[in-house]
Structure 1
């Protein structure tokens, strides 16, 4: 800050130095003016000027130091009150702009809330005829046609479900209900929902749940598991998917392992990015690139870490690491 202050006041400092040199020069060429006296005055002027600079530095930089340390979070209370007229101009301008930004942010938030409510309402409205359609499909006797319609129904159901949770995630922390979650019940329910798709692709499941329960939010854990299962089914053909839970150092882990095409090593760091699909099969128009992205965001809010291990052609393993019991209070305080 001192260097910036000296640069800012360099014109004044230059003027002072020029005047002192002028006095010495005049005394040097005019023998009637005692040079010793002028040098003494210049020396005293330098001392006074340095003291003046130090005092003004302390006074003038308080406001700008607080601005430099300000985190630009629209909270102006941490900025030192302005003292000089120019500082007051800056303070008034910042206050007006901040109030306008807060007003705009509030309007945008209200607009976003309205849009979210309208979309959620629409999704729930669509689910009613979708449920009726599922009941109608169950009464179809032609098994081939029934399987085709069920598969398309499932695709619509999963797309609506993803869209529903995408809109809920920004407000997820207001929607958490922490309890003991039965992983076996969740897995059975999700597998049953995906059953028609699995039968079409010849995929089975093998579960080994050494730890049947975790403490978390059941609804969001089900959503995360749903995304991992649909991802495993999508990229597998005629093979089993292994699901197991275990405990290491009082931390519960859940693994979903498939034997599909796997993930290219260069894609691994990007699979949780929004909109990323795959560089291996870039023409896969059915992929939206949202499932794993939303699963990662939901897991982060629950303090669940998601790791992935994969080799092209041998399959992929997703590993959920749930928080330890003594760490879980952090989630409730978020």
Structure 2
């Protein structure tokens, strides 16, 4: 036992001398995290990061057997039914993708309502918005890859959203699709987007976002910010908050394990472009509100004008959402702060209502 300790100490000292581990630990011990009744929301950024790590690990394992193009469906069938534990890896990848999107949405709204986009955290907000957009693109591009009937027709429906953009929508959609219809070329383009292009864009933005979080620390919600500094409580980042963060990761791992093992991700029949679309086909849940907005405006204003109006209003709302740090700039409460809060409630309620409406409106 003593020899193992001395060996571990010698190895640690050898690494520390070359990498400066003690300096990093000293910085971690010096860093503090606010401790208050809203501290629970601080963990969602780390939970999002955990599911991203699961995505990378499980995605690399799936890459060993997946074959894009004409053999896409057969390769996924082999992964699901023939390769030992292939079904579990695929289920973990699919479930963690959905859980990651959910965690990122929770993180975004918690940051918004705690006013953590205000000075000096504007670039943290904008980089987070970029990561959210890329996360949604990850989900959308990966959904087609199994090429079963649900993935095929859901992707066709999902591509109607960007196609409704005025002027450039159809052109951009044809480029992504590789032609007028979803085909093997589309799979190859989505695969390249999913495993090469998006990671190359995502990783540096993620590193920049994490650096900003470390630089500026965790923001205080307005209710805590109004308190005198003497009444504010903090805990050390290391080991206190770090241990709690790992505990949340463990809970997330358990939730993922239960879902992946008890509710394995299914594979439907191979897509047949000539067959009629299944009844009630729809995009994934995180695109359902946008999809329903387009349907509603299409009913109110028949033709392409309705869809174009719907996507234009939705795009405008996203621009306003992204620009909120330029509108709500004061640290204290005021009229602009209240308007920003009401806009956040409106956006959250709108997403929930239109998503539920979309599922109830399936035909």
TM range (shorter): under 0.3
Structure ranking higher on relative contact order (CA contacts 8 Å, 6+ apart): 2
Question: Higher Cα Rg: structure 1 or 2?
Answer: 1
**Which structure's residues are more often helix, by fraction?**
2
**TM-score, with length taken from structure 1:** 0.25
